Amino acid sequence: MSPLVPPRHGTRLGVTGHQVLPAVALGSVLDGLRRAIAQAGPGVIAMSSLAAGADQLFAGEVITAGGTLHVVLPCQRYEATLHGADRDRYRELLEVAETIEILPYDEPTEAAFYAAGRRIVDLCDQLLAVWDGQPARGFGGTADVVAYAHQRGCDVRVIWPAGVRR
């Protein structure tokens, strides 16, 4: 399958971030995402894997702001990694996505997750990292995607409240 490329009609914002956000960080993270989306201007395109937490928050905010959504799924059976409200929100966001790209992995693995993070970096103009600055807790986590973005010369904007730890 050839990879889908979202249409070029606005700023492409990618996201990487933590799946579990401390309640004390949520307001600040939402404010930061909203500011970044507003600064991107009209026609913003969200690049997201729709993981729980930061990815879903970001995708929802872009849709609310009138932007479009390009989804990069790490694997065929990705939905199995989501549960409850996170799975419900994933399905809602998938329904409104303009384009959906599924990477050539059957099962959810760290390699598949990292490949999705790299693909998002390769597609975006700016990467929004909802990240506490700490090392990844598993291969392909937020820190690894941020490091890849820096290697590629991608503009990275970290969104995280000072002094808050996960």
With respect to residue 106, please indicate whether it lies within any of the assigned structural domains.
yes
Distance of alpha carbon 127 from alpha carbon 129, whole angstroms: 6
pLDDT in tens, 106-149: 999 999 999 999 999 999 999 999 999 998 888 889 999 999 99
Structure tokens at 134: 């700490």
Contact 130, 33 (CB under 8 A): yes
What's 125's domain CATH number?
3.40.50.450
With respect to residue 10, please indicate whether it lies within any of the assigned structural domains.
no
With respect to residue 12, please indicate whether it lies within any of the assigned structural domains.
no
pLDDT at 10: 79
pLDDT in tens, 38-64: 999 989 999 999 999 999 999 999 999
Domain count, the chain: 1
Q: Which domain holds residue 137?
A: 23-158
With respect to residue 3, please indicate whether it lies within any of the assigned structural domains.
no
